Structure 1
Amino acid sequence: MPQTLSVAIGQYSDKGRKELNQDFHAAYVPAEPQLSAKGIVVALADGISSSSVSQVASQMSVKTFLDDYFSTSESWSVKKSGHRVLMATNSWLYSQTRRSQYRYDANKGYVCTFSALIIKSRTAHIFHAGDARIYRLRHNSIEQLTRDHRLQVSSEVSYLSRALGMDSQLELDYASFATEPGDTFLLLTDGAYEFAGDRAIIDSINKHADNLDQAAQAIGELAYANNSDDNITVQILRVDELPNADTEELYQELTQLPFTPPLEPRQHFDGYTIVRQLHASSRSHVYLAVDDDSGANVVIKTPSIDLRDDPAYLERFLMEEWIARRIDSPHVLKAYRATRTRHFVYIVTEYIEGQTLTQWMIDNPEPSLEQVRGIIEQIARGLRALHRLEMLHQDLRPANVMIDSSSTVKLIDFGATHVAGVQEMTSGASHLSILGTAQYTAPEYFLSEPATERSDAFSLAVITYQMLTGQLPYGTAVAKATTRAAQNRLKYQSARDHQPSIPLWVDEALRKALRPYPYRRYDDLSEFLYDLRHPNKALLGTQQPPLLARNPLVFWQSVSAILLVAVIVLASQL
């Protein structure tokens, strides 16, 4: 039977010898689907004794983290989600201090340490700022996973160097670790770990293995008995069971249903009436259908029966609809929400009445520059909608771009799309090095290097070049360049060689967007789009064009003058 993530948690907190407990802690184990999508969270914050409002910061930081982390997009990675939430929390705390009577003394403001542990799938993620600690106990050996952010002035005097709310900018430690069943993680404030030794902590956990709340209390009481003079907070999380490494939730859902039988026009299928086949390949079949309940035209896509034993293919197939459901953009294909139970393996999307960009380019072999700009800018809006959710399309090509009857451009086909948040909970079987079409794929894929948003931007620039010239900037050379040295030898062929009417500054924008090395391209899509409409003097200055291109009149006047001088010299010799 497939396993799910299962943990045991114990917690204890006490004010100790202080008048007020400025620590705050919490843990949350969500139900599915959030358990798989976001994981389990344990967090604590420790206030600073010099501040009378630090306990407010501690409570707010922990509560906000648990609330906001689970509200972030499922497509975001744990790292991005955690960073976004904590940066926002830090800004709020810092602004509260700046608006208070403590604005000139941060040590009395809304400041606290913060440490969090997130277990998602088979990986532990840690966020940390301050001097609380996170430990891992494995095979009766304890290891500190965080470092103390304290500035040691002398053997007796030290200061907290990092904390939430201390500064407008937060420097946060992040790390991730593979976990094993039986791993036990501990989150301790300094009032606990400074007065309870490693051996005593291990013994307490082993003694109370069936009740981790009692184990946490035993550690806290031991620290108090050893004269701890601070608040004491102990959190323990033991990993009892992890998801199967080779079984994905999406794949499980998919294979529980039978494969779709061959479909024919006028056939009634699962509440739809098949109209006609739109496309067929060795990987899938696409049909136009009508929803019998609503009368809406929809597209039904079914997987290839020949690939039913390929888990990587099946995962990617189901992910297409998952992605389409999570993006709200007029320039991205929408999933169709049916109210009926599905009895077969297929996906349903909106029907776009129009044509692919491939067909549009055939019908418009010499488009104007403005037509190209209009289409490319709409494609870029669709890409931005993906990128905002930490998704990379990875197969951007004319065949995967639709233009509807109102000239609205939409991205389709997410079978190769990389989703950071899902990547963290998959086995890796579905993540091949190259999933896109070679002619439009960025060079870094052929070096097995990580893809970035610049990779999608490269594909967009290839499409731009092709629309303007009818050619590809490097032909088939990119796919053959599988080493850095080979890629360094790639030579960009000026778009003006194919279409002299293209402005020089547009050609230079394309040259930059199509550089083989990703970090020499544009940092952002908006920069490329801007340079397609506005001459970039910086680019023109780096690539001096020949005189013929810059000023044809002066060039031919110069040639005529040289020829005239030559004629005069020859005549004088005769």
Structure 2
Amino acid sequence: MSEWHLQADAKFTVGQKSEAGVKPDNEDAIGIRIPDGSLLSNKGAVAIIADGVSAAEAGKEASETCVRNFLYDYYSTPDTWGVKKSTTKVLTALNRWLYGQGRHYIDAGKGYVSTMSCIIFKSQTATIFHVGDSRIYRLRGEEFEQLTRDHTTYISDQQSYLARAMGLDVNLDVDCRTLDIEAGDIFFLSTDGIHDFVKDRDIRNVLKNAINPDQSDLETLCQQLIELALSNNSNDNLSCQIVRVDSLPKQDVNDVTQKLTELPFPPYLDVGMTLDGYKIEKEIHASNRSQLYRVRDTETDKILTMKTPSVNYDDDPAYIERFIMESWIGSRINNPHVVKVVESSRRKSCLYYLTEFVEGITLERWINEHPKPHIEEALYIFEQIVKGVRAFHRKETLHQDLKPGNIMLDRNGEAKIIDFGSCHARGIAEIASPIEQDGILGTAGYSSPETVLEFKSNIRSEVFSLGVILYEMLTGQEPYHGKLNTCRSKSAYMKLKYTPTYEHNPLVPFWIDGAIQKALSFDPQNRHQDVSELLYEVQHPNPKYKRQNTTALVENNPVVFWQLLSLALFIAFCVALYF
């Protein structure tokens, strides 16, 4: 499969040195990794420095583990994960391992303990993660700035202790900071064996020699700083790294368009035609943005679905980039309730992608055929939809166009989410691109107010979409009388009035309606925190919703309320009379 995104062309010049100094052992560890191609685009470049705590029995092992394992584990995280999530997951696991190893030692605060400072360069942004008293500086022109703060507590002028470090406690508190970077920026990482014995102005004077782009021997500058610290009686290990940003991935639209259009758009396809060994059997759907075909693999006789881009956008790089990203995102989600992208071993002659073929109907059609369904059946389907959405969220991806038309029900009644055209993957969104994307990509009637008005979307926005879907499934009606499609201002939303689901379908329990009403709150803070919470509430009665909605029923529809109450009393009377 073709790479979905642009290749990064960030370039760096680096240098690093580490020496034991006057100590018999070097408990510092350093590492830099600058990968190639798409890995540089998706994960970035990393510089990391660690200083094993001398008072700990295994400080050397701790620092080496921090550097070695981080550089391996970070690049093993999914491409769709953002820098912060990837790093947080890795550091949390690493800290717990170090802390667990340190539990073998009797003395508290000893064992596998190390400081750790790392900087990740991705696209036009640098993200710093820091714990302990190693440091990161930046030199930009004449401005020399310390970007980290020491996690040191001073008891007196002569005595201090490390308040935070890797492996010191089961819970890890890491400083995280994100900043924009520019070509020419110079970053300097060091352990306290250097920065405690060399003044900031002297460090800056040495680093100024790295400003010259012709200066490529940055290890010599590192050696100069080590010797300067030793001449100032440094009594600790000495380690430092210099990273110069030589260029950043800035491409103009013409360059981008050329890369994205390496594969041409498919020719006009009709039933009976064959493309790359796939015979067109039926056109499933066609719009001004794309076409879907049922195709048969002439080699395996397997039925698949082929999606092709619309020729209306063959000169639109934003559309092309998003189309390529669709298959990339879909191929990284493996869940029975998400349609599977099928990788082809054959070389493509044009732009398209394949998915499994789902024999069945859309949820939209199912709703039309079941205006007042059995509640258990509707919740069974809804549970599957939520599980599919959760699979997107676990990859830090938002679907952003959840609606009945994008959900298929196969012949066994199993739900599958389709269409990745509006997906937003956080890890990919961090990559800078000169292409301007569309604002709102989903369908207004199923999108949250913040998505429509502010072009902002998060997990709670997807909760809103699921609330709309469940409302329709249970009632056959759109919430807010179908007026969500027309709202384009905050005041328009505030004028809408919620109609309880049980007024359309008396079989809907009060507590399910309460959960749906919460999911459809216009303020995202009033909704469920995630889709799992919404699913739990529609599956488990919550007394608070029953009380609230009984009151609402008395006020909004007293006739129905008294009819239901009379029925309940009559049943109770009959039971009492019988016994």
Q: Does the pair score TM above 0.5?
A: yes
TM-score with structure 2 length normalisation?
0.91
Q: Residue in 1 aligned with 2:134? A: 132
- Amino acid across the alignment from 1:100: Y
CA 98–2 in structure 1, closer or farther in 2 if over 3 Å, else same: closer
How far apart in 1 are the matches of 2:434 and 2:294?
33
The answer to whether 1:54 aligns with 2:59 is yes
How far apart in 2 are the matches of 1:440 and 1:495?
17
SS for the counterpart of 1:146 is: coil
Contact kept in structure 2, 1:130 and 1:160, CA below 8 Å: yes
Note the residue ranges of structure 1 that are not aligned, 5 or more in a row: 559-574
Contact kept in structure 1, 2:47 and 2:118, CA below 8 Å: yes
How far apart in 2 are the matches of 1:94 and 1:2?
39
Q: Residue in 2 aligned with 1:177? A: 179
Post-superposition offset of 1:187:
0.7
Contact kept in structure 1, 2:528 and 2:534, CA below 8 Å: yes
Contact kept in structure 2, 1:315 and 1:430, CA below 8 Å: no
Post-superposition offset of 1:458:
1.2
The answer to whether 1:79 aligns with 2:84 is yes
Contact kept in structure 2, 1:29 and 1:39, CA below 8 Å: yes
Contact kept in structure 1, 2:260 and 2:317, CA below 8 Å: no
SS for the counterpart of 2:384 is: helix
Post-superposition offset of 1:126:
0.8
The answer to whether 1:491 aligns with 2:497 is yes
Q: Residue in 1 aligned with 2:385? A: 379
- In structure 1, which of residues 352, 361, 367 is the aligned counterpart of residue 373 of structure 2? 367
- In structure 2, which of residues 192, 195, 200 is the aligned counterpart of residue 193 of structure 1? 195
SS for the counterpart of 1:447 is: helix
Q: Residue in 2 aligned with 1:6? A: 11
Point out the more displaced range, 474-483 or 343-352: 474-483
Post-superposition CA distance 1:89-141 (Å, at most 9, x none): 11111122223323xx11x2211111111111221111111111111111142
Point out the more displaced range, 295-304 or 69-78: 295-304
Give the aligned length. 555
TM-score with structure 1 length normalisation?
0.91
Post-superposition CA distance 1:239-286 (Å, at most 9, x none): 112112556998665311111111111112122222121111111111
SS for the counterpart of 1:72 is: coil
Post-superposition offset of 1:32:
2.4
The answer to whether 1:335 aligns with 2:341 is yes
Aligned positions of 1:427-438 closer than 5 A: 427=433, 429=435, 431-438=437-444
Q: Residue in 2 aligned with 1:404? A: 410
- Amino acid across the alignment from 2:177: A
Contact kept in structure 2, 1:494 and 1:507, CA below 8 Å: yes
CA 526–86 in structure 1, closer or farther in 2 if over 3 Å, else same: same
Contact kept in structure 2, 1:465 and 1:473, CA below 8 Å: yes
Post-superposition offset of 1:481:
4.5
Point out the more displaced range, 515-524 or 238-247: 238-247
Q: Residue in 2 aligned with 1:413? A: 419
Identical aligned pairs, as a percentage? 43
Q: Residue in 2 aligned with 1:530? A: 536
- Amino acid across the alignment from 2:179: F
- Amino acid across the alignment from 1:13: S
How far apart in 2 are the matches of 1:374 and 1:2?
43
SS for the counterpart of 2:513 is: helix
Contact kept in structure 2, 1:439 and 1:475, CA below 8 Å: no
Contact kept in structure 2, 1:433 and 1:445, CA below 8 Å: no
Post-superposition CA distance 1:57-104 (Å, at most 9, x none): 1111111111110110100000000000001111111122223323xx
Alignment RMSD, CA only?
2.3
How far apart in 1 are the matches of 2:92 and 2:325?
30
The answer to whether 1:470 aligns with 2:476 is yes
How far apart in 2 are the matches of 1:98 and 1:316?
49
How far apart in 2 are the matches of 1:522 and 1:50?
47
Post-superposition offset of 1:3:
6.4
CA 11–422 in structure 1, closer or farther in 2 if over 3 Å, else same: same
Post-superposition offset of 1:289:
1.4
The answer to whether 1:63 aligns with 2:68 is yes
CA 557–534 in structure 1, closer or farther in 2 if over 3 Å, else same: closer
How far apart in 2 are the matches of 1:356 and 1:281?
17
How far apart in 1 are the matches of 2:331 and 2:284?
22
Point out the more displaced range, 454-463 or 479-488: 479-488
CA 220–86 in structure 1, closer or farther in 2 if over 3 Å, else same: same
Contact kept in structure 1, 2:44 and 2:123, CA below 8 Å: yes
Contact kept in structure 1, 2:462 and 2:531, CA below 8 Å: no
